[in-house]
């Protein structure tokens, strides 16, 4: 995410089945994510967080 912000990229696509990344283990993105996981994914993207 740091590199994305450094490059000025404002939108990121993610597809069902993709791994969530560091800190999420082997968990994958999908329609069944609960609100806490969604919040944790958005946290680094929100200004002032």
Binned at pLDDT 50, 70 and 90, residue 16 comes out as: very high
Q: What is the pLDDT of residue 14?
A: 85
Give the tokens for residue 35. Answer: 């609100």
Compute φ and ψ for 4, nearest 5 degrees.
-60, -45
DSSP, collapsed to helix, strand or coil, labels residue 11 as: coil
The model's pTM is: 0.53
- The number of domains in the chain is 1
Distances from the Cα of 48 to the Cα of 24, 31, 43, 45, angstroms: 22, 27, 9, 9
Structural domain boundaries enclosing 29? 2-45
Q: Is the pLDDT of residue 26 over 70?
A: yes
pLDDT beyond 70 at 17: yes
């Amino acid at each position: 995410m740091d590199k994305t912000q450094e490059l000025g990229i404002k939108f990121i696509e993610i597809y069902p089945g993709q791994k969530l990344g560091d800190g999420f283990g082997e968990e994958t993105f999908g329609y069944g994510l609960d609100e806490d996981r969604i919040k944790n994914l958005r946290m680094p993207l929100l200004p002032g967080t």
